[in-house]
């Protein structure tokens, strides 16, 4: 590949690697870049990984077209770039190595020789004339090894940037540059922000038209974009508005707190909320996002009088890379001696310019009413700027709008051995008609969810306006695990062996589960239709009709609190907990409204 008229790319792509530097997942492989400058003198810029010796030498021979190679410029001694120095010197015995003094010391460690009779030692401000092209050498210690130099070609205005401006991924795969370059930079170079800042100041004095890194694509357009990102990353500034929640959870209670906080943050106008389960996510991506966003929430459990191992590892990654200039909030969980918040603060004590949120959520095993208030307070605190800038956010996130969606009401029937079961749902919809597919969404805590996942079948009974409140009490207010919902109730059966209602419905459908979608608290069953019958032409019962004509009016006179809009249950108190579940109909706090006189 031609970079310029005189500069040719001779690097290789590696799709056999799974972990770069033994820790970074690289699903799209890696590129090991090397370049050839052909002038009166011919210079090679770096070599490649040892597994690609012959491919690289073939690329070099093809590009030189028989010309003598005069110089090998070694900018960086990591083996993925330097492994073929000895082989190169065997194949090109007349060539001279050009590199820094520290690099030659490393060569002796790697190859048993420092090429004293075939070398040129260069430092800051030194040059090498090739003819039209003069190479200017700039020292870049600790970006990210101490021997590193970068090289500027004043003829074609090319900066050979060593590991700077590199990224994960092979060159024959198209992907977003910033995402993989950020993960690469934070993971590998992140600790050395001050040194990168020094190098950027030197680069600012150069007229650069092209950047040729040792990993990733050659950069030729919009160089200001890449330089600006490197300035942000190396100064530990905030790149994007948003909040990262990094958590570990043993039995799900801490995860529940994280999910509640995420919902509140979005409601209060946070433009981006990213969640990382540290036990399962790519640790490097979690670290990348911690440096990308301005706010970080750490949520974990006390574990062996310390904190959970994945959180401990995550914080170590942050501190090793000079994490700073951020707002941090803490959520801890501990059944008898919670120490997580204190431990996390101690681990971060040497990080510069860390502002801690005033609110710390401290959970004792499971979430309490106090925790709900803490989570809400923490969300408001973290979103104070968004709420101040856009007061209309509260209106834009008015979840009462959901009640304007038209819902039908249904009894879903299933079976546990010989025992029939059923429940009330309002989340049935046709999602495609070719083929016919019906989606039914059910709360995971419902016994019917368990039965349908086991059997893969169900019946959906479409309630008509003839349905009485007794139907809702029978199928909606109790669990089929402890109550026989079909006791003293007439049963008819469809071809799949499941019950369907003999009255109060206008139709039923027998469904076979084809796909299951995990929605967190709920599961969505995507189903094919195996049988369908119209029983009557009476109008379908809607949620609105139920509210206005079927549900008894609750006796709220003289009472203060909240009333369930589904069944009329009254919760007396000044505050309704966010995770309150109606003891009668099992609907959550979203289906309660304040009692007004």
Is pLDDT above 80 for 195?
yes
547 versus 324: the higher-pLDDT residue is: 324
- Length of the chain in terms of residues written: 597
Q: What is the pLDDT of residue 57?
A: 97
SS3 508: strand
Q: What is the pLDDT of residue 403?
A: 56
Nearest to 144, CA basis, from 88, 205, 81, 224: 81
Q: What is the pLDDT of residue 402?
A: 55
CB atoms within 10 A of CB 225: 12
**3-state SS track over 33-55:** CCEEEECCCEEEECCCCHHHHHH
Distances (CA, A) of 87 to 54, 96, 111, 360, 543: 10, 13, 10, 59, 77
Laid out side by side, the sheet with 592-594 consists of: 570-572, 561-564, 592-594
SS3 434: coil
Is pLDDT above 90 for 311?
yes
Integer-rounded Cα Rg, in Å, for the chain is 33
Q: Is the dihedral of CA 480, 483, 484, 487 positive or negative?
A: negative
- Express each pLDDT in 354-367 by its tens digit: 999 999 999 999 99
**How much is the pTM?**
0.74
H-state helical runs in 368-460: 369-382, 384-389, 393-396, 447-455
Q: What is the pLDDT of residue 388?
A: 72
**Tokens 């006390």 sit at which residue?**
302
CB atoms within 10 A of CB 398: 10
Phi, psi torsion values for 530, nearest 5 degrees: -100, -20
Task: Give the residue-averaged pLDDT of 18-47.
Answer: 96
Distance of CA 93 to the CA centre of its chain: 50
**Calpha distance 532→555 (Å, rounded):** 40
Which residues have C-beta within 8 Å of that of residue 203, sequence separation ≥ 6? 138, 159, 227
**3-state SS track over 278-322:** CCCCCHHHHHHHHHHEEEEEEEEEEECCEECHHHHHHHHHHHHCC
Q: What is the pLDDT of residue 393?
A: 44
What tokens does 129 get?
A: 């004339």
- At residue 394 the predicted structure's pLDDT band, cuts being 50, 70 and 90, is very low
Helices 283-292 and 177-184, axial angle in degrees (round to 10): 100
Which residues have C-beta within 8 Å of that of residue 357, sequence separation ≥ 6? 327, 328, 329, 330, 378, 381, 382
Nearest to 511, CA basis, from 444, 445, 412: 412
**Calpha distance 425→331 (Å, rounded):** 35
Q: Which helix (H) or strand (E) holds 23?
A: none
Q: What is the pLDDT of residue 348?
A: 97
CB 355, CB 328: distance < 8 Å: yes
SS3 119: strand
562 versus 392: the higher-pLDDT residue is: 562
- Express each pLDDT in 322-345 by its tens digit: 999 999 999 999 988 889 999 999
- Express each pLDDT in 214-256 by its tens digit: 999 999 999 999 999 999 999 999 999 999 999 999 999 999 9
**Calpha distance 567→587 (Å, rounded):** 9
Is pLDDT above 90 for 93?
yes
Is pLDDT above 60 for 509?
yes
Burial environment of residue 558 by CB neighbours within 10 A (0 to 12, 13 to 18, 19 or more): exposed
Is pLDDT above 80 for 404?
no
Distances (CA, A) of 122 to 8, 102, 204, 416, 434: 23, 10, 21, 80, 70
Task: Give the residue-averaged pLDDT of 59-81.
Answer: 96
Is pLDDT above 50 for 531?
yes
* pLDDT mean across residues, the chain: 92
SS3 63: helix
Nearest to 185, CA basis, from 279, 78, 292, 274: 292
Phi, psi torsion values for 79, nearest 5 degrees: -60, -25
Beta bridge partner(s), residue 273: 243
Is pLDDT above 60 for 592?
yes
Winning range, highest mean pLDDT, from 29-38, 414-423, 501-510: 29-38
Beta bridge partner(s), residue 237: none
Which residues have C-beta within 8 Å of that of residue 21, sequence separation ≥ 6? 188
């Amino acid at each position: 590949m031609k970079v310029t008229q005189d500069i040719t790319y001779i690097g290789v792509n590696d799709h056999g690697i799974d972990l770069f530097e033994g820790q970074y997942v690289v699903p799209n492989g890696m590129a090991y870049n090397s370049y050839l400058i052909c002038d009166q003198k011919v210079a090679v810029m770096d070599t490649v990984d040892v597994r690609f010796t012959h491919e690289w030498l073939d690329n070099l021979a093809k590009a030189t077209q028989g010309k003598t190679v005069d110089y090998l410029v070694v900018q960086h001694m990591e083996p993925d770039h330097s492994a073929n120095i000895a082989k190169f010197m065997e194949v090109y015995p007349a060539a001279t190595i050009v590199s820094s003094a520290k690099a030659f010391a490393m060569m002796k460690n790697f190859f048993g020789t420092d090429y004293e009779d075939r070398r040129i030692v260069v430092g800051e401000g030194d040059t090498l004339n090739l003819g039209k092209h003069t190479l200017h050498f700039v020292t870049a210690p600790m970006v990210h090894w101490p021997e590193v130099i970068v090289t500027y070609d004043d003829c074609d205005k090319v900066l050979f940037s060593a590991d700077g401006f590199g990224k994960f991924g092979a060159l024959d795969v198209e992907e977003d540059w910033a995402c993989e370059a950020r993960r690469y930079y934070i993971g590998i170079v992140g600790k050395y922000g001050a040194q990168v800042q020094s190098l950027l100041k030197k680069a600012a004095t150069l007229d650069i038209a092209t950047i040729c890194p040792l990993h990733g694509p050659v950069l030729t357009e919009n160089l200001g974009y890449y330089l600006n990102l490197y300035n942000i990353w190396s100064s530990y500034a905030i790149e994007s508005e948003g909040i990262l929640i990094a958590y570990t959870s043993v039995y799900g209670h801490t995860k529940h707190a994280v999910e509640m906080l995420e919902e509140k943050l979005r409601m209060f106008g946070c433009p981006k909320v990213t969640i990382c389960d540290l036990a399962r996510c790519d640790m490097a991506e979690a670290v990348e996002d911690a440096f990308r966003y301005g706010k970080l929430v750490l949520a974990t459990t006390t574990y062996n009088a310390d904190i959970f191992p994945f959180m401990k590892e995550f914080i170590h990654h942050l501190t090793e890379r000079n994490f700073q200039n951020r707002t941090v909030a803490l959520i801890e969980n501990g059944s008898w001696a919670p120490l997580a918040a204190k431990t996390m603060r101690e681990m971060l004590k040497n990080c510069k310019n860390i502002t801690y949120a005033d609110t710390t959520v401290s959970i004792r095993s499971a979430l309490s009413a106090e925790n709900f208030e803490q989570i809400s307070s923490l969300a408001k605190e973290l979103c104070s700027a968004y709420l101040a800038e856009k007061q209309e956010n509260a209106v834009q996130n008015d979840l009462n709008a959901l009640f304007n969606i038209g819902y039908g009401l249904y009894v879903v029937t299933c079976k546990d051995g010989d025992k029939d079961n059923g429940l009330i749902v309002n989340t049935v919809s046709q999602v495609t008609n070719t083929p016919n597919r019906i989606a039914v969404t059910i709360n995971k805590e419902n016994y019917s969810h368990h039965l349908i996942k086991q059997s893969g079948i169900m019946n959906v009974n479409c309630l008509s306006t003839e349905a009485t409140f007794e139907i809702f009490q029978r199928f909606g207010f109790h669990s089929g695990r402890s109550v026989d919902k079909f006791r003293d109730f007439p049963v008819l059966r469809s071809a799949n062996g499941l019950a369907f209602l003999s009255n109060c419905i206008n139709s039923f459908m027998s469904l076979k589960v084809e796909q299951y979608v995990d929605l967190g608290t709920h599961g969505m069953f995507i189903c094919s239709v195996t049988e369908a019958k119209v029983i009557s032409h009476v109008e379908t019962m809607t949620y609105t009709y139920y509210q206005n004509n079927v549900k008894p009016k609750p006796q709220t006179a003289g009472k203060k609190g909240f009333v369930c809009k589904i069944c009329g249950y009254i919760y007396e108190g000044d505050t309704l907990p966010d995770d309150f579940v109606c003891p009668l109909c099992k609907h959550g706090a979203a289906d309660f409204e304040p009692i007004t006189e």
